[in-house]
Structure 1
Amino acid sequence: MRIYGVAGWKNAGKTGLMERLVSEITGRGFTVSTVKHAHHTFDVDHPGKDSHRHRVAGASEVLLASKNRFALMHELREEDEPPLEALLSKLAPVDLILVEGYKRDNHPKVEAHRAETGNPLIAPDDPTVHAVASDVPLDLDRPVFDLNDTKAIADFVLQEVGL
């Protein structure tokens, strides 16, 4: 399984970079899945809907399906948040899995960085960050790309994973 991450602090441009990378890489004929870490409680369900009622009633899992997609919701209830590896095992095989967040995990990553946020770089203290995509020039011991140069970042990621 080939996995590559996009990490960074809040408002660093992670989601925009992920979106552009998925589009660029799938446009080259590769299959891509994504994993996004949410730091806050989130819900893909809505109160009053049948699937929500199933969950509230105590179902461990609810699979919501239509002709266009399906979503499997697994209630953790008293369980801890599952590790990334456990979540990855639930995905169907693809050429590449791009992971947004999970900056403390050990997979290789590109760090998204916007100077205006005032946040420090993660890269200098984290060897799992193999490159930085920034909106300002940086002097680092690893590649630095323009945050908007999606093609060059995609080239780098694909070379790193052997695609």
Structure 2
Amino acid sequence: MRPPALAVVGWSGSGKTTLLTRLVPELRQRGLRVGVVKHSSDAHPLHREGSDTARYAESGAAFVAFATPAGVQLSFPEPASHVLSLLERFADTVDLVLVEGWKQGPLPKLEVWREGLGPLLAPGRQDVLAVVGECAVPEGVRGFKPDDVQGIAAFVLQCLRDGVLR
């Protein structure tokens, strides 16, 4: 079984990363163990070309880890579409996974919106639970100002308690 997950979606430059870097410590203060996944639709090398870790990955290793005094980076040779099944491996280590990006993924979503970057996604999407931004939100969707991290954290916790995040 995988841990509950919430996708934080929005146009490039909307403030997703900024929100997550503020939301993670707020959720941790409230007792949650939070994991974060950065999802990208663009091809992005996981290992620097010619590096030892790239050579291990090319050799067919089941996973490749890069360990330093600052931490361990772990990669698996599976496409981004398999991220949910990969999260099952971490079910005992986190209470919630926040996925930055993955607009088209199957997770419930928190949309971060900023004027001038693109249209609001929420009106045409049943999976958007809330919108963070200075805008009017559709009926049935919660709205938050970008600096209301405590309110957003309370909303996420309520969604966890209510079983909305799966």
- Shorter-chain TM-score bucket reads 0.7 to 0.9
In the TM superposition, what is the alpha-carbon distance from 1:89 to its structure 2 partner?
A: 1.8
Structure 1, unaligned runs of 5 or more: none
Q: Does 1:125 align with 2:124?
A: yes
User: Following the alignment from structure 1 to structure 2, what is the Cα–Cα distance between the partners of residues 56 and 85?
Assistant: 23
Indicate the residue corresponding to 2:157 in structure 1.
158
In the TM superposition, what is the alpha-carbon distance from 1:17 to its structure 2 partner?
A: 1.1
Give percent identity, aligned residues only. Answer: 35
Letter in 2 for 1:47: E
Indicate the residue corresponding to 2:105 in structure 1.
105
Indicate the residue corresponding to 1:16 in structure 2.
18
Aligned pairs, how many?
A: 158
Indicate the residue corresponding to 2:115 in structure 1.
115
Structure 2, unaligned runs of 5 or more: none
User: Following the alignment from structure 1 to structure 2, what is the Cα–Cα distance between the partners of residues 53 and 83?
Assistant: 22
Indicate the residue corresponding to 1:140 in structure 2.
138
> How do 1:53-132 and structure 2 match up within 5 A?
53-66=55-68, 68-76=70-78, 81-93=80-92, 94-117=94-117, 119-132=118-131
- When normalised by structure 2's length, the TM-score is 0.81
SS at match of 2:116: helix
- Alpha-carbon RMSD across the aligned residues, in angstroms, is 2.2
8 Å contact kept, 1:113–1:147? no
- When normalised by structure 1's length, the TM-score is 0.83
8 Å contact kept, 2:40–2:102? no
Q: Deviations over 1:84-116 (max 9, x none)?
A: 322322324211111111222232211000013
